[in-house]
Amino acid sequence: MLRLPPFRYHRPETVADAVSLLGSYGDAAMLVAGGTDLIPNMKHRLFTPEHLVALKGIGELRGIREEGGDLVIGAAESLTDISLHPSVRLHFTALAQAAGSVAGPQLRNSGTLGGNVCLDTRCTYYNQSHFWRQALGFCLKKDGDVCHVTRVGKKCVAAHSADTPPVLMTLGARLELVGPEGARSVPISDFFLADGIWNTTRRPDEILTSIRIPLPTPDLKTSYVKLRQRKAIDFPLLTVAVAADVDPENRIRRLRGVVTGLGARPRELTGWEELAEGEILTEELMEGLCERAHKQCHPLENMIGDAEWRRAMVPVHVKRALAGLRR
């Protein structure tokens, strides 16, 4: 039986108190909200914090409201509540779809949007028991000095595999963080790093407090699709999020696409606007966009599923996501 390592559990009532606790305990402390990823990883000894600072009881981190032209979502809102919230479903269909496709119902009831945004990267050679990793030889991400995927270099290539960040990137969301030096706002497109060990710009002593999404015009269309082994529970092997702003004649003013499940950060697909701007989303245009996506995406053997097969699935799922814009 896998057991948790010993730790002390703290339940601050305010963000300021939580930041203070992080400052007091430093590297020995970690944040926990839903715990759906952290707790299993602690059982596998991927993390062994001496102190856990709980966030779910902090009222400042809850709520979904419209404010100053944005939809503001508290970082501790559950994925279930987000997937069912009327404002999210009205304005951002793809976000409701993404939140509602994470894992299974029990985990969505516990898991939070902030936790999904800050989700640790995953790799076949990392997300295993301590005994398994020890038998093979520890990897670069935890306790070792070699990447078992690339076999060379000192760069971890564990993959980003969260559902909601690709959608939030297509929507131009901003992340609000609070730390000992005060509050700061970061575009989510600047939040992720190409480093599988620590793939965000969030400092260990900072707390993600809310996500702000600009309220859309009625002409915004969004879509989200996901590839995984089973239709529930499993982490994504690939996700595709697309958002298009169209004119009254259904001609594209702006088009964004983001994929994840490939590298340490979500990949924004480039070269789309020069193909799509001013055009109607025809079959021919979709094929051209899919071809460009395929050329840009090169999965590694860092997740379950052959890398070439996962690459072949990129244009398939990009086309499904684009087709969702036409509904």
Predicted confidence at residue 302, as pLDDT, reads: 92
Q: How much is the average pLDDT of 240-269?
A: 96
The domain of 48 spans: 1-57
pLDDT tens, residue by residue, 276-294? 999 999 999 999 999 999 9
Predicted confidence at residue 154, as pLDDT, reads: 83
| Number of domains comprising the chain | 3
Predicted confidence at residue 153, as pLDDT, reads: 73
Choosing from 214, 231, 249, the residue where a domain stops is: 214
> CA angle, corner 163, sides to 151 and 158, nearest 5?
10
pLDDT tens, residue by residue, 76-121? 999 999 999 999 999 999 999 999 999 999 999 999 999 999 999 9
pLDDT tops 90 at residue 197 = yes
CATH assignment at residue 112: 3.30.465.10
129 assigned to some structural domain: no
pLDDT tops 80 at residue 1 = no
Q: Do both 165 and 184 map to the same domain?
A: yes
Predicted confidence band of residue 212 (pLDDT cuts 50, 70, 90): very high
130 assigned to some structural domain: no
Q: Do both 49 and 65 map to the same domain?
A: no
| Burial call 97-126: b when 16+ CB within 10 Å, e when fewer | bbbbbbbeeebbebbbbbbbbbbbbbbbbb
Q: Do both 196 and 304 map to the same domain?
A: no
Question: For the chain, what is the mean pLDDT?
Answer: 96
- Dihedral in degrees, nearest 10, Cα atoms 110, 113, 119, 122: 80
Structure tokens at 210: 């809310």
Percentage of the residues of the chain whose pLDDT score is greater than 90: 93
Q: What's the CA gap between 265 and 272, in Å, rounded? A: 19
Q: Do both 94 and 178 map to the same domain?
A: yes
Q: Do both 319 and 243 map to the same domain?
A: yes
CATH assignment at residue 304: 3.30.390.50
Q: Where are the alpha helices (DSSP H) in the chain?
A: 15-25, 38-43, 79-84, 86-91, 93-101, 105-110, 113-117, 130-136, 164-170, 272-276, 283-296, 307-324
Name the nearest CA neighbour of 159 among 197, 188, 129: 197
- Please report, as a single letter, which amino acid is at residue 134: Q
Task: Please give the C-alpha separations between residue 125 and each of 49, 128, 130, 233, 307, in angstroms, as whole numbers.
Answer: 21, 7, 11, 20, 15
Name the residue with tokens 């001609």.
251
Predicted confidence band of residue 195 (pLDDT cuts 50, 70, 90): very high
103 assigned to some structural domain: yes
Q: What's the CA gap between 11 and 305, in Å, rounded? A: 40
Q: What's the CA gap between 254 and 273, in Å, rounded? A: 7
Give helix 307-324 / helix 283-296 axis angle, nearest 10°: 150
pLDDT tens, residue by residue, 144-178? 999 999 988 789 999 999 999 999 999 999 999 99
Q: What's the CA gap between 8 and 270, in Å, rounded? A: 46
Predicted confidence band of residue 24 (pLDDT cuts 50, 70, 90): very high
140 assigned to some structural domain: no
Predicted confidence band of residue 43 (pLDDT cuts 50, 70, 90): very high
134 assigned to some structural domain: no
125 assigned to some structural domain: no
Choosing from 39, 57, 75, the residue where a domain stops is: 57
138 assigned to some structural domain: no
